[in-house]
A and B are shown apart, each in its own frame.
Chain A
Amino acid sequence: KAGVTQTPRYLIKTRGQQVTLSCSPISGHRSVSWYQQTPGQGLQFLFEYFSETQRNKGNFPGRFSGRQFSNSRSEMNVSTLELGDSALYLCASSSPDWDRGGDTQYFGPGTRLTVL
């Protein structure tokens, strides 16, 4: 089974621009979560999508948004980029049991975003 894939792997943008990152979950997984990883703040939960609906959101400003498609693929968008948005953005998908309170999130390799 193919793992979680994320595109692109590396991205360089300038302040004020917007960016869209893509995530394809493991086949059969319906839940997709996004995390931001920075040296200062560590790993922080951004949001989770399940069956095309945002189920929960972490403590991030509205510039961070996402969506999920009917095939469970997900995108996240960051508008009006700031220098502090430079980070590794990780996507994770989870098995159908996750919505019943169990099982595991499997992570992709991440997208490294650099904001200049």
Chain B
Amino acid sequence: AQSVTQLDSQVPVFEEAPVELRCNYSSSVSVYLFWYVQYPNQGLQLLLKYLSGSTLVKGINGFEAEFNKSQTSFHLRKPSVHISDTAEYFCAVSDRRGGADGLTFGKGTHLIIQP
């Protein structure tokens, strides 16, 4: 079994400031890690993913995340946020057993950009 913890339910940030959204996971097996974004009244859009290889992963809209196996973390960062980044962000994990158990999601972090 695996679990995902997003430590902050809400993160307010001023426009053009940097932001970090935290994600920790637990799993007894190797995992794949994902960040998704959800805008109001929409489905989930993939921001980035870690499957293997380099631990620093770059995604869309200027976001990046770093996989840290020893700390079981996959924090999401952006150096300068824009008002359009206001949304709900979900960290998700999948084990490597063919994805048969589906994605396990964190509770989400609401990113609020203040002008």
Residues of A within 8 A of B101 (CB): 45, 56
Question: Looking at chain B, what size class is its interface with the partner chain?
Answer: 20 to 34
B44 and A104 contacting across the interface, CB-CB below 8 Å = no
Please tell me if A75 contacts chain B, counting CB pairs below 8 Å.
no
Please tell me if A105 contacts chain B, counting CB pairs below 8 Å.
yes
- Docked complex Cα distance between A90 and B92 (Å): 15
- Docked complex Cα distance between A103 and B107 (Å): 22
Interface size on A (CB < 8 Å)? Answer: 29
A107 and B100 contacting across the interface, CB-CB below 8 Å = no
Distance between B68 CB and nearest chain A CB, rounded to angstroms: 21
* Residue of B32, B43, B105, B108 most packed against chain A (CB within 10 A): B43
Complex interface: stretch among A12-20, A62-70, A76-84, A92-100: A92-100
- Docked complex Cα distance between A110 and B51 (Å): 26
Q: Known contacts being A42-B107, A99-B99, is A104 close to B42, with CB within 8 Å?
A: no
Tell me the B residues contacting A by CB distance below 8 Å: 32, 34, 36, 42-46, 49, 51, 90, 92, 96-108
20 A-B interface contacts by CB (under 8 A): A4-B43, A6-B43, A31-B99, A42-B106, A43-B90, A43-B108, A45-B102, A45-B103, A55-B100, A90-B43, A92-B44, A92-B103, A98-B98, A98-B99, A99-B99, A100-B98, A104-B46, A105-B99, A109-B42, A110-B42
Tell me the A residues contacting B by CB distance below 8 Å: 4, 6, 31, 33, 35, 42-45, 48, 55-56, 58, 90, 92, 94, 98-110
